[in-house]
Homo-oligomer: A and B are copies of this chain.
Amino acid sequence: MSPSRKPENSPTCCPIQVLLPDVQPLTDEEAGDLEDLFKILANDTRLKLLHHLARVEEMCVCDLSTAMEMNVQAISNQLQKLSDRKIVATRRSGNMIYYRLIDNCLIEILKQAQCLLIDSKTK
Contacts and interface: CB of A to CB of B under 8 A. Distances in A.
A39 B46 CA distance: 13
A55 B17 CA distance: 12
Q: How many copies does the complex hold?
A: 2
Kindly state the interface size class of chain A when it binds its partner: 35 or more
A35 interface: yes
Which of A15, A55, A116 has the most B CB atoms < 10 Å from its CB?
A: A116
Q: Is the interface of A mostly helix, strand, loop or mixed?
A: helix
A16 B33 CA distance: 24
A39 B26 CA distance: 18
B11 A103 contact: yes
A102 B10 CA distance: 10
Contacts of A34: 41, 44, 47, 110, 113-114, 117
Interface in A21-39: 21, 23, 25-26, 28, 30-35, 37-39
A80 interface: no
Contact of A55 (B19, B57, B86, B114): B19
Interface string A82-100: 0001100000000000000
B42 A38 contact: yes
